[in-house]
Amino acid sequence: MATTASVTQEQFERFLSDPVLTRSTEVSRRIDDIFDLINPNENQHSSILQWLFDPREGHGQGEAIFKDFLVAVHEANRESAKPQGLFQHWSPGRIAVTGFQSLIVIREKSMVGRGRQDLLLVDPIHRFVILVENKAGASWRGIQLENYRNDALALKKRGGPYYGYQVGFVLLDRYKDESTIFDDKEIRHWSYLDYMWLEKAARRAEARVERGVEPGQQLVISYCRRQAEYESKEEAELEALLAQLARNHREVVGAIGRARRRKYLPAKDLDLDDFGSQLWAWTHQYKELAEKLEKQKSLSFIGHELSKAAPGEQPKFDLRKRAIFVTDASWLKLMTDTPDARGDCFWPVCIRVLEMKSSEDYRDEEGPETPRKYSINVNFRPPFLKEGLEPEVREALAALYDKELGARIDAKLRRIGHTPHSEENLPKALLKRYEEVHNVLKPIIAKIEG
């Protein structure tokens, strides 16, 4: 069979007998969830968010998820060119000591003008209305946002249903691209937010499951973990196991990738005495694991290419389910020794490669899948810099991304320098980004080293 041209039966059997594969299969089964089977569209995302925001629903977290959202909006509002008074008023401290059991969550409400907004969050006790436009990866248009904003403002006029209420505007975008805030003036009127704030809900739900309080929690874990790109302990274990398999059985994993692209095997070619047929059958019996293995091989290859292209440097790679985080060993000298309140300590500067969209489609014959698309950006977390380094590091990064860093300076996390790339172009683009960032940080690191 064509799929086994570069692999032998002995290699395939060694792969099957590897204890790491056995462990990977067990862990993969435990973390499979409903969102491995379905990919919600924008309306379905908004319906799930409606369920999560409602403090009376069966997710068991009460108003905590809405509070997570409001804190994240407050932080995003601080970065906005035109901060909104409503979100300035609701500071993290005020949110922490306030109850929101009165919150009403409205889906697809037709307003006074054109269109229907995704979510309207109304609190009749605290007298505010928050309009949430949820894009879930779809592109947004300034004229659409302007129409929604004008219609919402009309709701609070004299004679309107929310006369005297404060109104706020939030744009939710799973693949938030901060560079777009300079392309359209309308976005300045909105707090622009990604889905990362959902990580807290996933962590709480996991803790409840560990304590045996499970009803409603698995959906919270599955959805929030997927949207926030939060990796659980079991997912981290699986990624490490898959990386080991991809290193130790590279030829077999390559053959598995070719077998994945051959969805149907003619009956005349299916002979279970032939190891090629066995490999094809295994690939489609364990299709989720096979897909993860192939992806791990692809991401590992990108890391290998970067290491080879920068022999005098010390690039480091952290491979995740949909992302690669790239740093340099020397950047560790920039990091504080003091963890945050949760005990975490993140790289203050790192490069993130995010898979924007992966194809789940198989072809009827061997051939390439729909090409994957990736986004490269730089994560900048000032709170995790050593004391006194922030002005220098910010100035260094501003040499590359002055336009994006020119906004408010007190954000805990900035994602800057977003650029889209094809899989083919990714290694070259990643090397260029790594060299750019490394070169502006080198003088600061040299001063630390004395």
Residues 221 and 307 reside in one and the same domain = no
- 228, 252, 268 - which closes a domain: 228
Q: What is the domain range of residue 392?
A: 299-450
Residues 214 and 356 reside in one and the same domain = no
pLDDT at position 240: 80
User: Could you give the number of structural domains in the chain?
Assistant: 2
pLDDT at position 359: 39
Specify if 3 maps to a domain: no
Residues 54 and 186 reside in one and the same domain = yes
Residues 324 and 429 reside in one and the same domain = yes
Specify if 19 maps to a domain: no
Residues 203 and 64 reside in one and the same domain = yes
3-state SS of the chain? CHHHCCCCHHHHHHHHCCHHHHHHHHHHHHHCCHHHCCCCCHHHHHHHHHHHHCCCCCCCCCCHHHHHHHHHHHHHHHHCCCCCHHHHHCCHHHHHCCCCCCCEEEECCECCCCCECCEEEEECCCCEEEEEEECCCCCCCHHHHHHHHHHHHHHCCCCCCCCCCEEEEEEECCCCCHHHHHCCHHHHHCEEECCHHHHHHHHHHHHHHHCCCCCCHHHHHHHHHHHHCCCCHHHHHHHHHHHHHHHHCHHHHHHHHHHHCCCCCCHHHCCCCCHHHHHHHHHHHCHHHHHHHHHHHHHHHHHHHHHHHCCCCCEEEEECCCEEEEEEHHHHHHECCCCCCCCCCCCCEEEEEEEEECCCCCCCCCCCCCCCEEEEEEEECHHHECCCCHHHHHHHHHHHHHHHHCCCCCCCCEEEEEEEEECCCHHHHHHHHHHHHHHHHHHHHHHHHC
- 199, 228, 257 - which closes a domain: 228
Residues 175 and 310 reside in one and the same domain = no
Residues 214 and 330 reside in one and the same domain = no
Specify if 25 maps to a domain: no
pLDDT at position 158: 78
Specify if 307 maps to a domain: yes
Residues 47 and 173 reside in one and the same domain = yes
Specify if 396 maps to a domain: yes
pLDDT at position 394: 92
Specify if 30 maps to a domain: no
Residues 59 and 187 reside in one and the same domain = yes
Residues 169 and 306 reside in one and the same domain = no
Residues 218 and 119 reside in one and the same domain = yes
- 209, 228, 247 - which closes a domain: 228
Residues 51 and 194 reside in one and the same domain = yes
Specify if 410 maps to a domain: yes
Specify if 270 maps to a domain: no
Each residue's pLDDT, cut to its tens digit, for the chain (450 residues) gives: 445 567 888 898 899 999 998 898 888 876 655 555 556 666 778 888 888 898 887 777 889 999 999 999 998 898 777 889 999 999 999 999 999 988 988 886 555 455 567 788 999 999 999 999 887 656 677 888 888 888 888 888 877 788 889 999 999 887 776 656 556 778 888 998 888 888 888 888 877 776 665 656 666 777 776 676 666 777 778 878 888 888 788 888 888 888 887 766 655 566 667 778 888 888 888 888 888 888 777 666 676 666 666 666 677 777 666 678 889 889 999 998 887 776 778 899 999 988 775 433 333 334 445 566 888 999 999 999 999 999 999 999 999 988 777 555 556 788 888 888 887 788 889 889 999 999 999 999 998 887
